[in-house]
Amino acid sequence: MWYDLRSRIKVLTYISAAVLLAYVGYLAGSPSIETAEGPVAQLAEQRTLNPQVVGSSPTRPTITFVPTTTTTTTTTTIVVPRTTTTIVVPRTTTTTSTVPPSRSTNSMTGQQYRYFERSQEVTALQMELGMRSVDGVYGPKTRKAHVESLGGPHTLLLQNYPEFGQSLTPCSHECLPGDGHYELPTLGELINEYFEPEDRALAHQIAFCESSGQTHHVGSDVVSDALAVGWFQHLAKYWAERSERAGWGDYHPFHGRANVAVAAWLFYESGVHHWNPSKSCWGGTASGQTL
């Protein structure tokens, strides 16, 4: 009896296993499962992942992850500072100078400057003249360059004092310097005529220091950058007044006799200080005059 019970249980077990296998086979052969829930879903999952069951390793879809590229646009703002240009417009000076204004109104050379003036205008002039030293001071070098830019001292003198270009003659019969029929007096002869004996050495030295005049010279056409003329370098701007007072108002400073005669008048009328700019050259020369 016990033996029959065990046999029956074994048969039932085989039958159950056969039924289960048949069911599983049925599931494997089914074209699709619309809905799987509960134990059926769990069984399907087990079948899918069970390597022992034929057809339980279906091809899994390949999932490709495309990285997300984030493009960040960086805007850089560059601030360019403004360049400030300061233009200094020089003022127009009205001071008196030995340099007359030129025709050009756009050039600093057409302005007037005092001797040793220090100003922005002088700086602009030096720059326009292309001077190596720009210090804003209207000194001898600046004045020389300025005068040369306007045509030189002779040109400037005759532009400003056209009467000096007249052919005033040193003798009554219309002779001119260089004429062979008339021998002009030398510097030495004129100094001996108009200066006292004790002052002649000093007069000779002054003429030499001022214009390189020597005893045997018969005339001088030297014009300085300050527009001073002849042996004793008479300033053109004072010539009309002084020559008139000295009795030589009808003559220009290029006239040798007039040049020496007016110099002697100045020397005895007001002293030797008129030639102080060259004193370092003639200062050691003896004279009866008080220096």
288 part of a folded domain: no
What domain count does the chain have? 2
Contacts of residues 239-245 at CB distance under 8 Å and 24 or more positions apart, as own/partner, are 239/161, 242/266
71 part of a folded domain: no
**What is the reported pLDDT for 3?**
53
The answer for residues whose C-beta is within 8 angstroms of residue 170's C-beta and 6 or more apart is 177, 184, 255, 256, 257
81 part of a folded domain: no
- Ordered per-residue pLDDT tens for the chain, 291 residues: 545 667 777 767 778 777 777 766 666 555 444 444 555 445 445 444 444 545 554 444 444 444 545 555 555 554 444 444 343 334 444 444 445 444 445 688 888 898 899 999 999 999 999 999 999 999 989 999 999 998 998 888 888 888 887 654 445 445 555 555 556 789 999 999 999 999 999 999 999 999 999 999 988 889 999 999 999 999 999 999 999 999 999 888 988 999 999 999 999 999 999 999 999 999 888 665 544
- Cβ of 276: how many Cβ atoms within 10 Å? 12
**What is the reported pLDDT for 208?**
96
The two structure tokens encoding residue 5: 């019970």
22 part of a folded domain: no
Give the residue from 50, 101, 213, 74 showing the smallest Cα distance to 221: 213
Name the domain boundary from 122, 150, 178: 150
The reported pTM is 0.58
**Which range of residues forms the domain containing residue 125?**
108-150
**What is the reported pLDDT for 25?**
66
- CA–CA separation, 187 and 167 (whole Å): 20
Query: Do 194 and 277 belong to one domain?
Result: yes
**What is the reported pLDDT for 154?**
86
Tell the residue number behind the tokens 């030639």, with chain if given.
275
277 part of a folded domain: yes
161 part of a folded domain: no
- CA–CA separation, 94 and 161 (whole Å): 20
Query: Do 259 and 199 belong to one domain?
Result: yes
By the 8 A CB rule, do 242 and 265 touch?
Answer: yes
79 part of a folded domain: no
89 part of a folded domain: no
Name the domain boundary from 97, 121, 150: 150
Query: Do 193 and 277 belong to one domain?
Result: yes
- CA–CA separation, 28 and 140 (whole Å): 121
The helix, strand and coil proportions of the chain, stated in percent and rounded to the nearest 5, come to 45, 0, 50
Strand partners, 229: 223, 234
Query: Do 141 and 227 belong to one domain?
Result: no
**What is the reported pLDDT for 291?**
44
Name the domain boundary from 132, 150, 168: 150
